[in-house]
Amino acid sequence: MKIILMSIFILATSLAQADNYYVSLSETTLRNNPELAETLRGLVESELLRFRQDIVSSPDQAEWVLAPSLLKLNESYIISLTKFKNGRNFFSDKLKATTLDDLDVITTRLVEAAIYNRSVENTQRIGTVTEEERKGLSIKQRADKQFYLGFGPGAGANLETNNAGFSWLVGYLWGLDRQFSLRLNLEGVNINDSGADMTSLGIGAQYFFNDKKHSPYFFGAMAYAWADSDRPNNETLGLTAESDNGWAIQTGLGYKFFRTSTVGIGVELSYNQALFNLVDGSPSTFATRVILFW
């Protein structure tokens, strides 16, 4: 048992060890823009330290060599980063900038892509969209305010019916920061082949678990709801249709795609619990929806 535990500890320690990097600037970059070249080197080294990597002073001591370069093309700049090991190229990618104000953002994304060997496009996050990328019509200037509309299947409880139904959702998001938004929404579930339904207007909060292009999220809201059961209205038998309204609670989980774009899509599971009673208790609804954000 001790041998197994020791093996696990050694393996975990080895996995946690940082890689050694040497930052090597190209001769062309040093010759054409010496001051800017040293700024670029400093930004790359700063990002390596932020990602908990080690920096060495000689390529002979390094496990990896990072070679950043900067090329001016008319009014734009091309910043590229290449990752070498024993003379072999393991990674190479680039980003275009219309202004050097984006140099720190570009360096952050390129270094992350190089360390984890992924495309620099996949490092795009809320707040790290470059000015050049914003030129595309699909990239949003500020990813903080959006309308949304959703549809999908739904079901209810304590509405005097076991049928499933159709759910809908319309609302608006106000982003307070990269991961937290206020949420206003109107949602409803209409049960098939019955007079049962439940509609609620809620205001609350939505929290994204990260600031990447695609992110899961959780939401909760206080709402005011209107509910109708499927109880038949038969005065001869002393039965009357039941409907009521009052406070309710909304909550759920979702996953949103393309958060950095002006138009995105998502999927969501939601639960709506009324705080008032109908015939058999407090009504509630469940829904699964596909959502369009714009």
List pLDDT tens digits, range 33-70.
Answer: 788 888 999 999 999 999 999 999 888 888 999 999 98
pLDDT value for 128: 75
Q: Determine the pLDDT at residue 207.
A: 96
The token duo for 166 is 């159709």
Predicted local distance difference test score (pLDDT) of residue 91:
92
Half-sphere exposure of 7 (CA within 13 A, CB side): 4
Query: What pLDDT shows up at residue 135?
Result: 62
- Render pLDDT for 191-207 as a digit per residue (tens, 0 to 9): 998 889 999 999 999 99
To the nearest 10 degrees (0 to 180), the angle between helices 34-50 and 103-116 is 50
Domain ranges in the chain are: 16-123, 145-293
Q: How confident is the model at residue 154 (pLDDT cuts 50, 70, 90)?
A: very high
Q: Please state, in angstroms and as integers, the Cα–Cα distance from residue 191 to each residue in 36, 91, 197, following that order.
A: 65, 55, 6
Question: What is the C-alpha separation between 150 and 152, in angstroms, rounded?
Answer: 7
Residue reference for tokens 């190209």: 26
For every residue of 52-97, DSSP letters joined together read T-EE-SSGGG-SEEEEEEEEEETTEEEEEEEEEETTEEEEEEEEEE
CA distances from 8 to 1, 5, 12, 18 (A): 11, 5, 6, 18
What's the CATH number of domain 16-123, 3.10.129.10, 2.40.30.60, 3.40.50.11830, 1.10.357.10?
3.40.50.11830
Round to whole Å and give the CA distance between 176 and 74: 37
Percentage of the chain beyond pLDDT 90 is 51
Q: Is the pLDDT at 262 greater than 70, yes or no?
A: yes
Cβ atoms 229, 243 nearer than 8 A: yes
Which one has a higher pLDDT value, 242 or 14?
242
CA dist., res. 81 & res. 70, Å (int): 9
Q: Is the pLDDT of residue 76 over 90?
A: no
The confidence score (pLDDT) of residue 72 equals: 83
- Which strands, in side-by-side order, build the sheet including 54-55? 54-55, 20-23, 64-73, 76-85, 88-97
Spatial distance between the Cα atoms of 56 and 214, rounded to a whole number of angstroms: 35
Lowest mean pLDDT among 16-30, 31-45, 248-262: 16-30
Q: How many angstroms separate the CA atoms of 294 and 228, rounded?
A: 32
Name the pTM for this structure: 0.62
Residue 68 CA to residue 138 CA, distance in Å, equals 29
User: In the chain, pLDDT over 70 holds for what percent of residues?
Assistant: 86
Give mean pLDDT, residues 163-178.
92
For 145-293, CATH gives 2.40.160.20
